[in-house]
Amino acid sequence: MDDKYITKEVEQKIREYWKVNEINKFKKDGKPIFAIDTPPPTVSGFLHVGHVFSYSQADFVARYKRMKGYDVFYPFGLDNNGLPTEILVEKKNNVLSEKVGREKFIELVENSIKEYEELYINIWKTIGISVDWSHLYTTISKDVQHISQYSFIELYKMNRAYRKETPTIWCTKCKTALSQMELKDKTLKSKFVKVKFADDVIIATTRPELLPACVIIFVNPDDEKNAKLVGRKVKVPIFGQEVEIKTDKRVNPEKGTGIVMSCTFGDLTDIEWYKAYNLPLRVIIDEKANMTHPHFKDMKVRDARKAIIEELKEKNLLLEEKDIEHTVNVHERCDTEIEFLVKKQWYIKYLDLKEKLIELGNQLNWKPEYMKVRYENWVNGLQWDWSISRQRYYGIPFPVWYCKKCNEPVLAEKEDLPVNPLNDKPKKPCKNCGSTEIIPEEDVLDTWATSSLTPLINKKWSLDTEIKYDIYPMSLRPQAHDIISFWLFTTIVKCYLHTGKLPWKDVMISGHGLDATGKPMHKSVGNIVEPMPIIEKYGADALRYWASSSKLGDEALFQEKDLVTGSRIVNKLWNVAKFTSKINSDTKEVSNLLDKWILSKLNDTVKKATEMFEQYNYAGAKREIEAFFWDVTDNYMEYIKHRVYNNIESPGYVLNKVFLSIIKLFAPYMPYVTEEIYQNLYKTQENKNSIHLSDWPVFEEKTFDKKAFEDGENISRLIKYIRAWKHDNKLALNAEVKEVIIEGEINKEYLNDIKGVMKINEITLGKATLEVAETPFKVTINV
């Protein structure tokens, strides 16, 4: 064995070995299948160690299950069907998607992000994620387009997908409809003005430019001071339309004057009111944030606001003008304030399924369990059906045209998928009126409408190549907690609608890897830690070690010192391997009590670690394994040295057995160093190609000796006590001691070991003075 373990060289070599020997291949060999629904990372141009954090955690489980004898189906996806990728490609090629056209742009994406995909895949491979790369998908690929469109057609046929003209959250910069999920808060400076509608009807608003769209006025039903207004009609200043004053509990009587005007549409509440009271629609803003009302000819929304404030002032209708900072919803990508427009949109109907969805959530095995509440809160809070139309150029198109004559949707035939309605034509005329004149749907599907299908994408559902093996429902969905309400939820919805089943048995919810100060890593914040330089310096095993130290669901701060700990263990493992390899291990008989002690302790560790791993508690398992490992190196190995050097009762067999188990237990976390040691020391005897295909250690009744386990702990404490005594008395650890007197019941078989380990000339049993804590012993030491 080499004297030094050079991380970089070994890891590269091992990686190549795994590839050639197809260690991670889904074998379809009849063993029970463990299928993992890996999250497809968004291709946005960069990855950070936070990504490594959560993917490593899933890989610990994958590797554990493989060693437990499962045929692990571990596919991978890349999400390139979304705004981040679109922006990346636009920047890189200096084009705009809408100028290029959909089909061409998709092609451009597929071509120009190859290098990023390779970069990504290279990082995952370097980290040692044990994915079977022959099952790679990308979400904009033809196959996935096929699956996604197929899903839409199915949903349409079961009356789950419907099209309706409704108010939509709209980004006037990106010129697309958004879902609530794509919004974030932003604090902006604005004017809060009080406008006089009548002497006793004063309305405070931040959006006076919406006065022409005012359709109704509300006060709170419990608001006594404004109760007298209810039922009255007032004229809107300047614009003159008459509106009624009604009550609604959504009004906060404490805010402003307690009187609210509802305009179609200023905010989400306006939309709720519009729906609840069937209000008239007055659209005065267009898709590009231009005012369409003649009063504000050619003005942008912001300019109109200034103009109307001036006009109200002139006409003495403005009672108060206050500068405020308030939070508004903006599009998370471009920071533009959103508006509400009325558009025809496709929806998926699911409000009627709430109860069923809760029930499905209960059937799912949540790790950690408390994450389930977030799902339940989300489902209980659902108010609208799922809007799946996006007015973007880039994305998976709806497989739909509309009949020019009767407006009836004309769906694509399944055998023609995927289709692009902008270029393709339906094979059949309109079912309703027989016309062949059609208008293509221009919208694309929301990316969640596609990524919610990953379990079915993995199965290649609806394709000729559909996997016939039993991988659905899948065994495990690993994902982070921030997207429980999107990805996890939408996947349950869609997979339930398509298959009538939950998509997986277990979910494992990870936290985030944060920067050293506890902030999420963002390119814009500039706190990204890239994985490759870290791996270069400390090795992939050390980085994975960091990911293993925080328990499932918890966030972890990234601090470089944590990698020092990991690389120390790697180094230690290597050195133990060197020591172990030199010791004669011919004798298979175990007679020494300290040998029995360490074997029993190993059994105990195996039992605990396995139980924890079964519960996805990789962090707890690692702690057990690590504690045992350090006990072996700091103590057991010191205890046996005198036997090794003097060639008595060789502990080689036991040490090898213990060490082989240790590297197996560590293998899911640190796959490289454990593999390298395995190849050097144990491959031949075990006759397995890789440690990752070897068997996970099991608890052995026959080598577990409870008495030796407990006695050994006491002897170990006794030795450590003498060690500390030597230190306190300024003696070297290998200094000779004339005599040690031990008081307390002790098996004489231990005496030779104690003498040998501590270089004691004579041990006598009898009255002693120094109490050894947590043991039945007292000792007296004479130098």
Partner RNA sequence: GGAGGUAUAGUCUAAUGGUAGGACGUCACCUUUACACGGUGAAGACCUGGGUUCGAUUCCCUGUACCUCCACCA
Give the one residue of 93, 241, 269, 585 binding RNA; rule: CB under 7 A.
269
Q: Does 267 bind RNA (CB under 7 A)?
A: yes
C-beta of 70 vs 579, nearer to RNA: 579
**What is the CA angle 303-306-312, rounded to 5?**
135
The phi, psi pair for 411, rounded to 5°, reads -90, 150
CB of residue 641 to RNA, shortest distance in Å: 6
Window 276 to 315, contacts with RNA (CB under 7 A):
none
C-beta of 355 vs 728, nearer to RNA: 728
The stretch near RNA (CB under 7 A) out of 116-124, 257-265, 309-317, 350-358 is 257-265
Rounded Cα distance between 524 and 374, Å, is 28
- Residues in CB range of 273: below 8 A, 6 or more apart: 216, 218, 248, 250, 262, 279
Give the one residue of 370, 428, 523, 615 binding RNA; rule: CB under 7 A.
370
CB of residue 715 to RNA, shortest distance in Å: 14
**DSSP 8-state symbol, 394:** S
Cβ atoms of 639 and 595 within 8 Å: the answer is no
Cβ atoms of 155 and 456 within 8 Å: the answer is no
The stretch near RNA (CB under 7 A) out of 15-23, 266-274, 356-364, 682-690 is 266-274
For RNA, what does the binding mask look like between residues 500 and 519, x meaning CB under 7 A?
A: ------------------x-
CB of residue 269 to RNA, shortest distance in Å: 4
C-beta of 119 vs 183, nearer to RNA: 183
CB of residue 701 to RNA, shortest distance in Å: 26
Rounded Cα distance between 659 and 580, Å, is 8
Q: Is the peptide bond before 265 cis (omega within 30 degrees of 0)?
A: yes
C-beta of 306 vs 623, nearer to RNA: 623
The stretch near RNA (CB under 7 A) out of 41-49, 443-451, 629-637, 700-708 is 629-637
Window 725 to 754, contacts with RNA (CB under 7 A):
727-728, 730, 732-734
Give the one residue of 41, 167, 256, 668 binding RNA; rule: CB under 7 A.
256
Listing DSSP states for 326-388 in one string gives EEEEEETTT-PBEEEEEEEEEEE--GGGHHHHHHHHHHSEEESGGGHHHHHHHHHT--S-EE-
- Residues in CB range of 630: below 8 A, 6 or more apart: none
Window 66 to 125, contacts with RNA (CB under 7 A):
none
Q: Does 163 bind RNA (CB under 7 A)?
A: no
C-beta of 113 vs 204, nearer to RNA: 204
CA-to-CA separations, 21 to 24, 302, 681, 690, 692, in angstroms, rounded: 9, 64, 19, 9, 12
Count of positions on this chain that bind RNA (CB under 7 A): 80
Rounded Cα distance between 61 and 55, Å, is 10
The stretch near RNA (CB under 7 A) out of 106-114, 630-638, 658-666, 669-677 is 630-638
The stretch near RNA (CB under 7 A) out of 36-44, 168-176, 603-611, 637-645 is 637-645
Rounded Cα distance between 228 and 268, Å, is 27
Amino acid at 367: K
CB of residue 260 to RNA, shortest distance in Å: 3
For RNA, what does the binding mask look like between residues 317 and 346, x meaning CB under 7 A?
A: ---------xxxx-----------------
Rounded Cα distance between 596 and 660, Å, is 16
- Residues in CB range of 362: below 8 A, 6 or more apart: 372
C-beta of 505 vs 578, nearer to RNA: 578
Give the one residue of 227, 281, 351, 373 binding RNA; rule: CB under 7 A.
373
Give the one residue of 16, 107, 114, 181 binding RNA; rule: CB under 7 A.
181
CB of residue 10 to RNA, shortest distance in Å: 12
Cβ atoms of 330 and 173 within 8 Å: the answer is no
Q: Does 630 bind RNA (CB under 7 A)?
A: yes
Q: Which residues are registered as beta bridge partners of 185?
A: 329
For RNA, what does the binding mask look like between residues 640 and 669, x meaning CB under 7 A?
A: -x---x------------------------
Window 199 to 218, contacts with RNA (CB under 7 A):
203-207, 218
Of 363, 614, 364, the C-alpha closest to 506 is 364
Look up tokens 């996890």; give the residue: 488
Specify the 3-state DSSP secondary structure of 141: coil
**DSSP 8-state symbol, 520:** B
C-beta of 76 vs 218, nearer to RNA: 218
The phi, psi pair for 587, rounded to 5°, reads -70, 130
Cβ atoms of 174 and 332 within 8 Å: the answer is no
Specify the 3-state DSSP secondary structure of 694: coil
Give the one residue of 240, 381, 533, 766 binding RNA; rule: CB under 7 A.
381
Of 334, 351, 352, 478, the C-alpha closest to 34 is 478
Window 697 to 726, contacts with RNA (CB under 7 A):
720, 723-724
CB of residue 251 to RNA, shortest distance in Å: 4
Cβ atoms of 412 and 440 within 8 Å: the answer is no
In the chain, how long is the greatest CA-to-CA distance?
Answer: 110
For RNA, what does the binding mask look like between residues 574 and 603, x meaning CB under 7 A?
A: -xx-xx--x---------------------
The stretch near RNA (CB under 7 A) out of 51-59, 279-287, 377-385, 417-425 is 377-385
Give the one residue of 623, 683, 688, 755 binding RNA; rule: CB under 7 A.
623
C-beta of 252 vs 782, nearer to RNA: 252
CB of residue 263 to RNA, shortest distance in Å: 8
The stretch near RNA (CB under 7 A) out of 13-21, 526-534, 627-635, 681-689 is 627-635
Look up tokens 């300290």; give the residue: 594
C-beta of 572 vs 778, nearer to RNA: 572
C-beta of 263 vs 417, nearer to RNA: 263
Give the one residue of 160, 374, 494, 601 binding RNA; rule: CB under 7 A.
374
CB of residue 506 to RNA, shortest distance in Å: 19
Rounded Cα distance between 384 and 541, Å, is 46
Q: 494-503 burial, b for 16+ CB within 10 Å, e for fewer?
A: bbbbbeeebb
Window 544 to 573, contacts with RNA (CB under 7 A):
549-551, 554-557, 559, 561-562, 564-565, 567-568, 570-572
The stretch near RNA (CB under 7 A) out of 267-275, 398-406, 468-476, 498-506 is 267-275
Q: Does 482 bind RNA (CB under 7 A)?
A: yes
CB of residue 327 to RNA, shortest distance in Å: 3
CB of residue 519 to RNA, shortest distance in Å: 7
The phi, psi pair for 69, rounded to 5°, reads 100, 10
CA-to-CA separations, 330 to 83, 153, 188, 334, 391, in angstroms, rounded: 15, 33, 10, 8, 17
Give the one residue of 162, 239, 277, 378 binding RNA; rule: CB under 7 A.
378
Rounded Cα distance between 256 and 212, Å, is 20
CB of residue 591 to RNA, shortest distance in Å: 23
CB of residue 762 to RNA, shortest distance in Å: 20
Window 5 to 64, contacts with RNA (CB under 7 A):
none
C-beta of 439 vs 564, nearer to RNA: 564
C-beta of 398 vs 448, nearer to RNA: 448
CA-to-CA separations, 434 to 168, 204, 427, 730, in angstroms, rounded: 32, 55, 12, 102
Rounded to a whole number of angstroms, the CA Rg of the chain reads: 35
Rounded Cα distance between 508 and 615, Å, is 10
Q: Does 264 bind RNA (CB under 7 A)?
A: no
